[in-house]
Structure 1
Amino acid sequence: MTRALRIAAALLILALGAMWGAALIVRQPGEGLGAAFARLLGNAPPPSAGGVALPAGVAIGGPFSLVDGDGRPVTEADLRGRLALVFFGFTFCPDVCPTELQAIGQAMDLLGPRAEGVRPVFISVDPERDTPARVKDYVALFHPSITGLTGTSAQVSAAARAFRVYYAKVTPPGASDYLMDHSAFIYLLGRDGSLRALFRPGATPEEMAATIRANLG
């Protein structure tokens, strides 16, 4: 990872940490941390470049061009009109990705009929191995509503930059194959594509469902 990427990742971590810390402080009795975070975002400065203005001027969200499991092109414009849950990972992920995707699927079930207003999206950061067919089969293991996206290395890199996602190929000592080290936030986008909330790794389905309901109106 280059020095510039390390600095960008550090700034993002600091910004997100500040927002989550503020959400913890202002959280009301009985209110989930995710809901408190969403409430803070509602009072944030006006969005720019398709994202919410976060501390330190970090904006999240923007243009991307990928393909779904059937090879059809998908861009950020295709997510408009409904809320979107966006998560970056890879199909060979041994722990974090299955856990987060399972939580997304459970949150969708908790929403009941209102889940029709939400589109969950999984974006692979491992284009070398994650073909459209593989991504399609993988997300089907967690929930039928999840759309899996992948693309060329350049397309994936552009999508990751838009969402300030860190990822890097790593080979653990003694391993015969590589893994992908990556950030693991889940992004909730509004109907206009703007960022409405960020769920930390390990957020519960109940937290996600509560924040989604608040943004469905």
Structure 2
Amino acid sequence: MPAHKTLFAALLALSLAACGAATPEPVGEPPLAGATIGGEFELTGETGDTVRWSDFNGQYRIVYFGYAYCPDICPTDVQRAMAGLKQFEQVEPQLGAQIQPLFITIDPERDTQEVVEEFTANFHPRLIGLTGTAEQIEAAADTFKVFYSRGEDQPGGGYLMDHSNITYLFGPDGEPIATLPTDLGPDAIATEIAKWVR
């Protein structure tokens, strides 16, 4: 590894330790090993193409279900997850390139392919936004054990969505590995990714 990358890796490890996050531990059994989370779906990508879970076979996957009109939780979670991924990519660019981040809407009524494309462009150049019919989204959410429901209409117009906000990490065979700690920030996410993506 070039000297500047070695130095960056050392500084990242020190910064993670300073923030109270543990450096990567020896890999044992993944937290979600054996869980029935995730699986085949058929959704619509940002360019209108059909996207399936199997399209990403051989790649690690970060998956988050949310919606573009979310005022706070979704953009915060996605920003932190993608910032953590970018940190990991800086230290391990080859491994980072093997991770495909996915954002799946739970609000297909408003989140068209153009809307999810505009949303994802704010966070990471490789983050893919997916939408679909209400039935396709419901099926995908069920497969990934994600809860969502439409909230009450807001006084100024529009509505909010109630939903679980879990950021999943999946392995190259589509197997669930772990959840990423978006509540702890990008450093903790980079550390968690480094435990499992090898």
TM-based fold match above 0.5: yes
Alignment-derived partner of residue 143 in structure 1: 124
Runs (4+) of structure 1 exceeding 4 A deviation are 38-41
Distance in 2 separating the partners of 1:94 and 1:116: 30
Partner SS for 2:183: coil
> Quick check: 193-202 or 70-79, which moved more?
193-202
CA contact (8 A) 1:186 1:201 kept: yes
The unaligned stretches of length 5 or more in structure 2 are 1-19
Q: Does 1:184 align with 2:161?
A: no
User: Are positions 1:60 and 2:41 aligned together?
Assistant: no
**Residue 60 (structure 2) aligns with:** 83
Q: 1:200 and 1:171, CA in 2 relative to 1: closer, same or farther beyond 3 A?
A: farther
Q: Alpha carbon RMSD of aligned pairs, Å?
A: 2.2
Given residue 133 of structure 2, which amino acid in structure 1 is its aligned partner?
A: T
Distance 1:199 1:136, change over 3 A: same
Give distance in 1, aligned partners of 2:29 and 2:119: 32
Q: Distance in 2 between matches of 1:84 and 1:213?
A: 14
Determine helix, strand or coil for the equivalent of 2:192: helix
3-state DSSP class of the match of 2:141? helix
Q: Which residue of 1 aligns with 2:112?
A: 131
Matches within 5 A, 1:17-166: 31=22, 41-42=29-30, 52-54=33-35, 59-111=36-88, 112=90, 113=93, 114-166=95-147
Query: The residue matched to 1:70 in structure 2 has which SS?
Result: coil
Q: Which moved more, 1:108-117 or 1:129-138?
A: 108-117
Q: CA deviation at 1:60?
A: 1.0
CA distance in 2, matches of 1:30, 1:184: 21
Counterpart residue type for residue 158 of structure 1: A
Gaps of 5+ in 1: 1-28, 45-50
Larger relative helix fraction: 1
What TM-score does the superposition give when structure 1 sets the normalisation length?
Answer: 0.74
1:204 maps to what in 2?
A: 185
TM-score (normalizing by structure 2): 0.80
Would you say the 8 A contact 1:135–1:150 is kept in 2? yes
Find the partner of 2:174 among 173, 193, 198: 193
More contact order relative to length (CA 8 Å, sep ≥ 6):
2
Cα deviation, residue 214, structure 1? 2.1
Deviation for aligned residue 1:109: 1.5
Task: State the AA in 2 paired with 1:188.
Answer: L
Q: Distance in 2 between matches of 1:30 and 1:179?
A: 33
Correspondence 1:170 to 2:151: yes
- Among all aligned residue pairs of Structure 1 and Structure 2, give the percentage whose two residues are the same amino acid: 35
Per-residue CA deviation, residues 23-78 of structure 1 (Å, 9 max, x unaligned), is: xxxxxx9636xx67x95743x6xxxxxx7335xxxx21111110110011111101
